[in-house]
Homo-oligomer: A and B are copies of this chain.
Amino acid sequence: MAMNRQFVLASRPVGMPKESDFRLIETPIPSLKDGELLVRAMYLSVDPYMRGRISGMKSYAAPLEIGGVMVGGGVARVAESKNPGFAAGDIVDIYMGWQEYAVSDGRGLRKLDPAVAPVSTALGVLGITGLTAYFGLLDVCDPKPGETVVVSGAAGAVGSVVGQIAKIKGCRTVGIAGGDDKIDYILRECGYDAAFNYKTTADYSAKLNELCPKGINVYFDNVGGPLTDAVFGLLTVGARISICGQISQYNNTKAEVGPRLLGQLIIARAKVQGFLVTDYAARFGPALAEMAGWVRSGKIKYREDIIEGFENLPKAFIGLFRGENIGKRLVKVE
């Protein structure tokens, strides 16, 4: 009997996840019923949001149980199909989790056309991360030409795209990232107008003040913490802040404290809004079409950070919290 390799949650991480929090198991590949199809993973995604899903805390989705297959998106090839909508060889975008094979009834799967773009982009710029940048910037913040847009985590899968969409909309973009290689990347490839490496900057407020002489109209936050504190002090009247992620806080074992900043929102009459890209699912189609156009025309560039080998999923995931990746980190399975 053919076997399936899967990573299951062995224990809930305390603080930074460890490889031993995940366990590799083998289970038989189920046989197909009518209407089902079997896919084999080509690429599997690792994303910061997954930290919340394994924490056991109340959140927007039920936490993964101990022993459950780790969740996540994938790009996979149909190996066998008893579903008339799919044929062996089709390539699909499927929320299959960290496993080599998965059985599906076809619902929620998106067929990918390798002629449009490399299929791996369905997990990045032309997938959930690109859509996160798109809706979190355009819908939550409605940036106007000439406005200053600041992005934290600007070299990551989402942040690198946010800056480029903001440029398409005529904004001035300022990126914050943790590494000179990342700063170089966002300035040269992503078209950021200015950027700084927070790891080598002592005074974030002074640096932001220097790079944003007219204040900050829009802030797209992937990181949180002291960087975000500094941004709050420089908001213009009517500023909009999109809270996409708070990666600096995800591995805290208790809530970090920081200065209370809500009073700044009164002074600036500013809005702070959290969002989840899945709330925009009804509009993914047209958004992906627009994004694909920008990618084809070269207005949006992207980088993938591809780790080889199914067995390296936990290591690839943990590295996200060490800031190892530039662009979208993926694991190539097949």
Contacts and interface: CB of A to CB of B under 8 A. Distances in A.
Interface residues of A, number: 36
A53 B265 CA distance: 16
A258 to B, nearest CB: 5
Contacts of A179: none
Contacts of A11: none
A62 interface: no
Interface in A152-191: none
Contact of A259 (B59, B243, B255): B255
A210 interface: no
A260 interface: yes
A34 interface: no
Given A271-B272, A274-B265, A260 B59 contact: no
Contact of A267 (B59, B224, B244, B268): B59
Contacts of A265: 243, 272-274
A260 B257 contact: yes
A221 B269 CA distance: 14
A267 B262 CA distance: 18
Copies in the complex: 2
B256 A256 contact: no
Nearest to A226: B260
Contact of A266 (B255, B258, B270, B276): B276
A228 B279 CA distance: 26
A246 interface: yes
A246 B228 CA distance: 20
A275 to B, nearest CB: 6
Contact of A263 (B224, B259, B261, B279): B224
Contacts of A261: 255
A249 interface: yes
A264 interface: yes
A245 interface: yes
A59 to B, nearest CB: 5
A58 B263 CA distance: 12
Given A268-B274, A269-B279, A272-B272, A246 B259 contact: no
Interface string A223-238: 0110010000000010
B274 A267 contact: yes
Nearest to A250: B263
B274 A221 contact: no
Given A257-B258, A258-B257, A263 B276 contact: no
Contact of A244 (B255, B257, B266): B266
Interface of A: 58-60, 221, 224-225, 228, 237, 243-246, 249, 255-276, 279
* Top-3 shortest CB links A-B: A265-B274, A255-B259, A266-B274
Given A246-B260, A255-B259, A257-B258, 13 more contacts: A224-B263, A243-B266, A246-B263, A246-B266, A255-B261, A265-B272, A266-B274, A269-B276, A270-B274, A271-B272, A271-B274, A272-B272, A272-B273
